[in-house]
Amino acid sequence: MPSSLPAQRRGAPGLDRFNTVAEDLAVATLLACCRSLRWAQRMADHRPYPDLDALLAAADEAGYDLAPGDIAEALAHESSTGLHPGAPAAAHTALGAAHAAYESRFGHAFVISLDGFRPEEYLDQVLAGIRTRLAHEPDEERAVSAEQLRGLARSRLAHVVANHPESDVAGASR
C-alpha cells in the first residue's frame, strides 16, 4: 500500500519501506531494536511516520510507557557487549569478569548506549559504566537500564530505517 504522505514529508527509502510493509515484518524489525512485544506492537500500530524525527520521538514515548514486566522482557533478550576478537586477552578477561559481576547482581545483561563515543572508547565506557552501576540499588539500576534500553532502541531503529535503506526491513543486510 503506497504511503499517503507527500514525498517531501516522507523519510529515507528505509523509512518509506518500514511505513508500508506488512505488520508482521514491521513488528519483526522493531523487535530487532527492542525485544518488548508491547513496544514493537505499539510502534507498528502507529505507522506511518512522516520522518525519522517522528519515528524516534514515538520510540521514546513508547519506551517511557513500558511497564516493569515489558522492560524485563526486553532486558531478558539483550546480551552483554563483547569485544572485537582481536582485542587483547586481558581486555576480554576484564570485560567478562565485569559482565559476570553485573549479571550476578542484577539478573540481566548490562546494557549501555554508546552513541556519541568513538569505538576506541567503548571498552573504557562499558567498564566504567559497570563499575558505577554495580553500586546502584536494584530499583535505581532498573531505571538506568530502562533509559539505556531506550537509547539502544533509538539507535538501532535509526540504523535500520534511516542509515541503511539497503538493509531489508528486518535489519539484515542483503
Please tell me the number of Cα atoms within 13 Å of 173 on its side-chain side: 3
User: Given this model, what pLDDT does residue 80 score?
Assistant: 84
67 touches 27 (CB < 8 A)? no
d(CA 48, CA 132) in angstroms, rounded, equals 40
pLDDT surpassing 70 at residue 11: no
User: Given this model, what pLDDT does residue 120 score?
Assistant: 87
List Cβ neighbours of 102 (8 Å cut-off, separation of 6 or more): 80, 109, 110, 130, 133, 134
Please tell me the number of Cα atoms within 13 Å of 116 on its side-chain side: 5
Model pLDDT for residues 88-132, shown as the tens digit of each residue? 899 989 999 999 999 999 999 999 999 999 988 999 999 999 999
Q: What is the pTM of this model?
A: 0.83
d(CA 125, CA 155) in angstroms, rounded, equals 17
User: Given this model, what pLDDT does residue 41 score?
Assistant: 98
The answer to whether the bond into 48 is cis (omega within 30° of 0) is yes
List Cβ neighbours of 122 (8 Å cut-off, separation of 6 or more): 81, 114
105 touches 134 (CB < 8 A)? yes
The arithmetic mean of pLDDT across residues 41-49, rounded, is 97
Query: CA 43: distance to chain centroid?
Result: 14
Residue 117 DSSP symbol: S
Rounded to the nearest 10 degrees, the angle between the axes of helix 37-45 and helix 52-64 is 140
Lowest mean pLDDT, pick from 8-12, 92-96, 131-135: 8-12
pLDDT band (50, 70, 90) for residue 85: confident
List Cβ neighbours of 131 (8 Å cut-off, separation of 6 or more): 98
